[in-house]
């Protein structure tokens, strides 16, 4: 390489070094120190805490009906096992299983041939005694017989009539009738079988109206009176039914400390069957002008309970006294007023006095 070319290369190298120094002189000379110091000073200053998004509600004075739920059972209005008072052979069964029977309907006929024959004999005897008594009366009027003879003949007529009445009563017992209107159950006897007194023939149940029995704890029993209303639900049915309290036991069960009540509900069509389990809702006392808040808004502590009230963009804890607890709401007795804004969500993320932002107001 010639000397001229070497000189040119050296000049280019010097020019390149000068350019690099010009662009990176701040880093080389420490010119960024003021900016770094300023940035460091800025980072040392505390930042404002972020606002936690929460949901809230405005409390209102409303009415509250205190109620309890107890277990109950449906029972028929009337129920009886049809039996016979006397023994005898069944000659006819006049019903079908599951049919509806009217009051007084003949269900079973027992053999009554002997009684019918006895009645016919007594009827003939009565006719004869009546004729004898008529003749003796005519003779007595003519003083042909004594008063005693006539009175004996008249007494024989009355005795025969009493014997007929006795046989008629026995004949009525040979016919088994439905004592009241209701639905018949399953037959337990057959035609031709011998029926002993007290042997069940068929069950008869009246279910309209249907009755409801339920037990209420002693401390609530004074709040329920005859004529009051209760609501109840049955398994497998979405509808709610209403019944009227018609009676109660005169004493409290010493073992369970509960008082049994009986209510009555209309049951057209027999939708409600006896023996069904019932969830009974019993209304007790009504409170007017009370405050209700969602149960999730309550924060339990060791010795008390509190809620967070929204005040000037911050969550402020308030100690409250609670009362009746429902499925979703709880009664506030002390600590809140109508119109207070209560935080209902995000309670685990906020601290007392923390800034919050209401994302949804109910």
Q: Which residue did the predictor score with more confidence, 223 or 342?
A: 342
- Residue 242: Cβ within 10 Å count: 12
- 3-state SS, one letter per residue, for the chain: CCHHHHHHHHHHHHHHHHHHHHHCHHHHHCCCHHHHHHHHHHHHCCCCCCCEEEEEEECCEEEEEEEEEEEEEEECCEEEEECCCCCEEEEEECCCCCCEECCCCEEEEECCHHHHHHHHHHHHHHHHHHHHHHHHHHHHHCCCCCHHHHHHHHHHHHHHHHHHHHHHHHHHHCEEECCCCEEECCCCCCCCCEECCCCCCEEEEECCCEEEEEEEEHHHHHHCCCCCEEEEEECCCCCEEEEEEEEECCCCECCCCEEEEEEEECCHHHCCCCCCEEEEEEEEEEEEEEEEEEHHHCEECCCCEEEEEEECCEEEEEEEEEEEECCCEEEEEECCCCCCEEECCCCCCCCCCCEEEEEEEC
The lowest-confidence range among 22-26, 68-72, 148-152, 221-225 is 22-26
Which span out of 61-70, 102-111, 213-222, 327-336 was modeled with the highest average pLDDT? 102-111
Q: How many residues does the chain have?
A: 362
What would the mean pLDDT of 225-248 be, rounded to a whole number?
90
Specify the pLDDT at position 248. 93
Q: Which pLDDT tens digit goes with each residue over 142-186?
A: 777 788 887 888 899 899 999 999 999 999 999 999 999 999 999
Specify the pLDDT at position 140. 78
What would the mean pLDDT of 339-343 be, rounded to a whole number?
92
Q: Which of 212, 202, 182 is nearest to 272 (CA)?
A: 212
Q: Which pLDDT tens digit goes with each residue over 282-336?
A: 888 778 888 999 999 999 888 889 999 999 999 999 999 998 888 888 999 999 9
What would the mean pLDDT of 192-218 be, rounded to a whole number?
93
- Mean model confidence pLDDT for the chain: 86
Q: Which pLDDT tens digit goes with each residue over 11-48?
A: 666 666 665 555 555 554 444 454 544 444 445 555 66
What would the mean pLDDT of 129-144 be, rounded to a whole number?
84
């Amino acid at each position: 390489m010639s000397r001229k070319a070497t000189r040119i290369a050296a000049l280019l190298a010097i020019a390149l070094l000068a350019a690099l120094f010009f662009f990176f002189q701040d880093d080389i000379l420490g010119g960024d120190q003021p900016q770094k110091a300023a940035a460091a000073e800025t980072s040392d200053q505390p930042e404002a805490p972020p606002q936690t998004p929460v949901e809230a509600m405005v409390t209102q004075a409303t009415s509250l009906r205190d109620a309890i739920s107890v277990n109950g059972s449906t029972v028929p209005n009337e129920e009886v096992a049809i039996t016979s008072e006397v023994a005898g052979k069944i000659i006819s069964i006049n019903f079908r299983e599951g049919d509806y029977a009217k009051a007084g309907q003949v269900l079973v006929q027992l053999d009554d041939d002997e009684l019918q024959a006895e009645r016919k004999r007594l009827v003939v005897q009565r006719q004869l005694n009546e004729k004898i008594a008529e003749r003796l009366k005519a003779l007595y009027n003519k003083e042909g017989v004594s008063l005693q003879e006539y009175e004996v003949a008249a007494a024989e007529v009355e005795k025969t009539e009493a014997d007929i009445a006795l046989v008629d009563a026995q004949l009525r017992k040979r016919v088994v009738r439905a004592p009241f209107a209701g639905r018949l159950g399953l037959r337990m006897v057959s035609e031709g079988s011998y029926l002993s007194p007290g042997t069940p023939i068929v069950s008869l149940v009246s279910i309209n109206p249907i009755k409801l029995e339920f037990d209420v704890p002693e401390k609530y029993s004074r709040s329920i009176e005859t004529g009051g209303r209760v609501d109840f639900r049955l398994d497998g049915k979405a509808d709610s039914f209403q019944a009227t309290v018609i009676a109660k036991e005169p004493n409290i069960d010493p073992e369970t400390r509960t008082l049994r009540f009986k209510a009555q509900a209309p049951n057209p069509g027999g939708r409600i069957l006896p023996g069904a389990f019932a969830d009974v809702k019993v209304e007790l006392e009504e409170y007017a002008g009370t405050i209700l808040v969602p149960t999730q808004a309550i924060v339990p502590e060791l010795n008390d309970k509190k809620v967070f009230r929204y005040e000037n963009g911050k969550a402020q804890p308030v100690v409250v006294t609670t009362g009746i607890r429902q499925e979703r709401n709880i009664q506030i007795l002390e600590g809140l007023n109508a119109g207070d804004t209560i935080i209902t969500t995000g309670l685990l993320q906020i601290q007392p006095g923390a800034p919050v932002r209401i994302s949804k107001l109910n």
